[in-house]
Structure 1
Amino acid sequence: MTTLSLHNPASVVGPLVSPVRGSFDWLIEAYQASPRFLDLPAATRRSYAGVLRRVANYELKDGRRFGSLPLASITPGAADQIYAKLKIRPDGSKRLRSAMLSMRVCQRAWSVAQRRYSSEMPALNPFAKMGISYRPTPTRPVTYAELIRFVAMADRLGDHSIGTAAMLAYFWLQRQVDILERLSWEHYRPADAPGIVRIFHHKTHEMIDIPLVDTDGSPLWPEMCERLDHTCRRGPLIIMRDRPDRLRKSYLPWREDYFRHRVADIRAAAGIDSEVKFMGLRHGGNTEGADADLSDAQLRALSGHRTASMVVTYARTSMQQRRDGARKRRDARENLLE
């Protein structure tokens, strides 16, 4: 059994030349060149690449990197050892979710490479059937009052776009990646349907039309529409950085890491609980809908969460359900302010 000794992974540099065929480094290269990897979203590819690099850069007691090991020498016991080391941070705290993800990605990479190079790969996948599980911490929903505080602080700090992004997540239940990378001005009041906004959900591949006005002409999302109608258009995307890039002298889209750090800064400045995450805004919007007594069908029609059977059942009345759901949510917010 291969014995592992945990050193600082960040200090270990991967191979600068082509990996030895049949090594774990070679497996990573084969997986990252496969359609199964290349077809993943860019953020997922970055995450998986980082995970595999971390595993490959773990150092053995004899000084070798884990990535240099021949695949035939990597046993289930070695996989168990590296999982045990990955799940403990240097300060002794646990990071079970990250460690489990590492094992799942290694399992996937091994399986993909095995299908392509079956004659060169061991039959046993040592990362399979490890019997590990993780119960995620529930995401705390952001309340409407917290949303108002967050947006006010974002505006005060000159981060208008982040306040707008928070409102988009809360009101129209869109995920961060879709808000930052996909939501364009063409989706808001499109020429062919100026009374709607088109919201895309990459997880379900749903593009849903959300009505902006009720049947009597009253606005269903007055706060959101007023915000967008007074937002400067700095590019094709609705959410662009609020200051020109120092080098390019132009406004750029937000990068995920920079956006996350600014969200944390604004949250702290607003005095909001540090456990509150951006994804909690979407959860908060869904919670508002449930508290406003939306039916399950109305919630799903607004959020884009629909099973195959529900598509057949509810597709014909989805626009009316979205209008009814939007009205109930608007009325519930107005009642809070009375």
Structure 2
Amino acid sequence: MAYTKKVAVRSRRDYEWAMTLLCDALTKSGDRVGSRPIRTITPRGADKLYQKIVIGPNGRRDRTAEKVVKLCRKAWRVVHRLFPDEFPKDVPNPWLGVTLENRVKKAKPAVTRDDVYDFAHGCIAAGEPEVAAVAVICFEWLQRPENVIAGYIKWSDYRAPSAPTIVRVAHHKTGTVAPHPLEETLPDGTVFKFYADAEEVLAAVPRRGVSMILREVSKGVAKPFAFPTMQHKVQRMRKKLGLPAHFTMDACRHGGMTELEEAELTDGQGRALSTHRTQQSYEGYAKRTAKRMLSATRKRHAHRLAEQNEPGDSVRNEAPETVRNGTPEQSKITS
């Protein structure tokens, strides 16, 4: 919970910094943009301000400039509704349609299932079961790291008496809850567990309170981890275990999302597990791995072979000619 508040504060500071950057920009006459009336901001002026922010004194700031445009676009719309007399009636929102510079967005890394469980077993052996559980929960049940650490994964949501075969995973960002099935009873009565490895890791985590991921402050007192503390623990264990440098909690979640695509789930099935609201946001997590490329290539090759070897093509192609042009068979029938 505490981490969620910190994120909100940090986001507010980011917006304040973006607005300060815009307002402190100087015009040709040397005065601050923030000191000028809102009526003086025109579409051309918005374009020039964007370019001024992009090409900063210390190099390009494409992402920062994008944030400024997005923030100003929304601020103009909100304030205009509240104070319409302060805005020129013949000038539309000048921040709409600002042409943004193209920039290459870096793809976030993803780790494999083997990496996640090598990390988890190493953490348990080193006396860090909570760190192990964070990695596994992010990978298997696709919960955001900040939600895991903030305490949104609870023991009361794991095999509760009312739902003994379910783990309920809350996604605070979207306000959704995903009930992941943990097992299935087969027709012969055998119980098949889908997440046996993950449950083995959870069994090593001490129950210090309602939330799964808690640190013991003193005897009988437990609190959530600070996010930087957990990050430090993850990196320390990652180095100790010799895992890739891109191993992070976020990379664990991206790895789980990538596994959904490697399993060739449909878009609807994948989003049912991840609770992403749109296809675009869901697709951003699944990496184009060699396994996905190989599977797609196999299907494409199989389709080509099926097209080449499908029987009856000649029959289907000749039938229209028979009807359209007339044939000896037709002549016999008409004679």
- Partner of 2:225 in structure 1? 254
Confirm or deny that 1:206 pairs with 2:176: yes
| Structure 1 residue 170 displacement after superposition | 0.5
With over 3 angstroms needed to count, the CA separation of the structure-2 counterparts of 1:52 and 1:146, relative to structure 1, is same
Structure 2 CA distance for aligned equivalents of residues 204 and 278 of structure 1: 19
Paired residues for 1:135-284 under 5 Å: 136-152=105-121, 154-155=123-124, 159-181=128-150, 182-202=152-172, 204-215=174-185, 216-240=190-214, 242-244=215-217, 250-284=221-255
| Structure 1 residue 223 displacement after superposition | 1.7
| Structure 1 residue 146 displacement after superposition | 2.0
Secondary structure of residue in 2 paired with 1:238: coil
Structure 2 CA distance for aligned equivalents of residues 218 and 51 of structure 1: 48
| Structure 1 residue 296 displacement after superposition | 4.7
After superposition, the C-alpha distances for 1:128-167 in whole angstroms (9 at most, x for unaligned) are 2212255532232211122134335545665432321111
With over 3 angstroms needed to count, the CA separation of the structure-2 counterparts of 1:227 and 1:152, relative to structure 1, is closer
Secondary structure of residue in 2 paired with 1:210: strand
Paired residues for 1:53-132 under 5 Å: 53-58=16-21, 59-61=24-26, 67-77=34-44, 79-84=46-51, 86-87=53-54, 92=59, 94-122=60-88, 123-132=91-100
Structure 2 CA distance for aligned equivalents of residues 279 and 303 of structure 1: 14
- Partner of 2:322 in structure 1? none
**Contact 1:187/1:199, CA 8 A, preserved across alignment:** yes
**Contact 2:208/2:216, CA 8 A, preserved across alignment:** no
TM-score, with normalisation over the residues of structure 2?
0.64
After superposition, the C-alpha distances for 1:247-302 in whole angstroms (9 at most, x for unaligned) are xx943223445444544454455444444553322221132233345455543333
Secondary structure of residue in 1 paired with 2:14: helix
Structure 1 CA distance for aligned equivalents of residues 58 and 159 of structure 2: 51
Structure 2 CA distance for aligned equivalents of residues 286 and 206 of structure 1: 17
Structure 2 CA distance for aligned equivalents of residues 163 and 96 of structure 1: 37
With over 3 angstroms needed to count, the CA separation of the structure-2 counterparts of 1:114 and 1:262, relative to structure 1, is farther
Secondary structure of residue in 1 paired with 2:159: coil
**Contact 1:57/1:66, CA 8 A, preserved across alignment:** no
| Structure 1 residue 238 displacement after superposition | 1.6
Structure 2 CA distance for aligned equivalents of residues 278 and 214 of structure 1: 29
| Structure 1 residue 56 displacement after superposition | 3.3
Secondary structure of residue in 1 paired with 2:183: coil
Equivalent pairs: percent with the same residue?
30
Structure 1 CA distance for aligned equivalents of residues 32 and 154 of structure 2: 45
Q: Residue 146 of structure 1 aligns to which amino acid in structure 2?
A: D
Q: Residue 140 of structure 1 aligns to which amino acid in structure 2?
A: P
With over 3 angstroms needed to count, the CA separation of the structure-2 counterparts of 1:230 and 1:163, relative to structure 1, is closer
**Contact 2:55/2:61, CA 8 A, preserved across alignment:** yes
Structure 2 CA distance for aligned equivalents of residues 270 and 89 of structure 1: 41
Q: Which has the higher strand share?
A: 2
Q: Residue 109 of structure 1 aligns to which amino acid in structure 2?
A: A
Secondary structure of residue in 1 paired with 2:170: strand
**Contact 2:18/2:67, CA 8 A, preserved across alignment:** no
Gap runs ≥5 in structure 1: 1-40, 309-338
**Contact 2:124/2:204, CA 8 A, preserved across alignment:** no
**Contact 1:143/1:284, CA 8 A, preserved across alignment:** yes
Q: Residue 229 of structure 1 aligns to which amino acid in structure 2?
A: A
TM-score, with normalisation over the residues of structure 1?
0.63
Q: Residue 127 of structure 1 aligns to which amino acid in structure 2?
A: W
| Structure 1 residue 51 displacement after superposition | 2.7
Q: Residue 232 of structure 1 aligns to which amino acid in structure 2?
A: P
With over 3 angstroms needed to count, the CA separation of the structure-2 counterparts of 1:235 and 1:195, relative to structure 1, is same
With over 3 angstroms needed to count, the CA separation of the structure-2 counterparts of 1:293 and 1:111, relative to structure 1, is closer
How many residues matched? 264
- Partner of 2:274 in structure 1? 303
Secondary structure of residue in 1 paired with 2:164: coil
Structure 1 CA distance for aligned equivalents of residues 10 and 110 of structure 2: 25
